[in-house]
Amino acid sequence: EISNGRADDSTPACLTYDDLYNRIYVGMFQSKRGICVIEPESGELIQEIRFASNDNNNFFAWADPLSQTVSGNLLLSVNRNNHELVALDRASLQIKKILFVGEALNGPRAVLV
């Protein structure tokens, strides 16, 4: 992604396969793109799930969704720089709830169910 003539330093941080909806979630490190949703057979980008910086993130324009998992009808994401756990509806990929997980040096890094 290019902003003000400069590319971000994005790197895929994690890959999560959703066997129910046959898609791959790619959590992007240092990128405003958030989670890229990929169609597995073609590798086509079908959606981006972007997360805005919040009041707990004073330093970065990106949330850093470093870890995702699927659980029941939810896609869960830990967004390191925002110090949050985000629950998204697995079908629509719309945000259902955001929970502050507390301050930690370098933020939270993983979600496990």
CATH code at position 59? 2.40.10.480
The answer to whether residue 88 is domain-embedded is yes
The answer to whether residue 58 is domain-embedded is yes
- In angstroms, the first-to-last Cα distance of the chain is 31
Place of tokens 């970065």: 60
The answer to whether residue 45 is domain-embedded is yes
Helix, strand, coil fractions of the chain, as percent rounded to 5: 0, 45, 55
Domain membership of residue 73 as a residue range:
2-100
The answer to whether residue 106 is domain-embedded is no
Residue 1 pLDDT: 67
Q: What is the mean pLDDT of the chain?
A: 92
Report residue 46 as tokens. Answer: 């079908």
**Neighbour count for residue 23 (Cβ, 10 Å):** 18
Task: Using the predicted structure, report yes or no on whether residue 5 has a pLDDT greater than 80.
Answer: no
Question: How many domains does the structure of the chain reveal?
Answer: 1
**pLDDT tens profile 47-93:** 999 999 999 898 888 999 999 999 999 999 999 999 999 999 999 99
The answer to whether residue 105 is domain-embedded is no
Beta strands 45-49 and 65-71 are unpaired
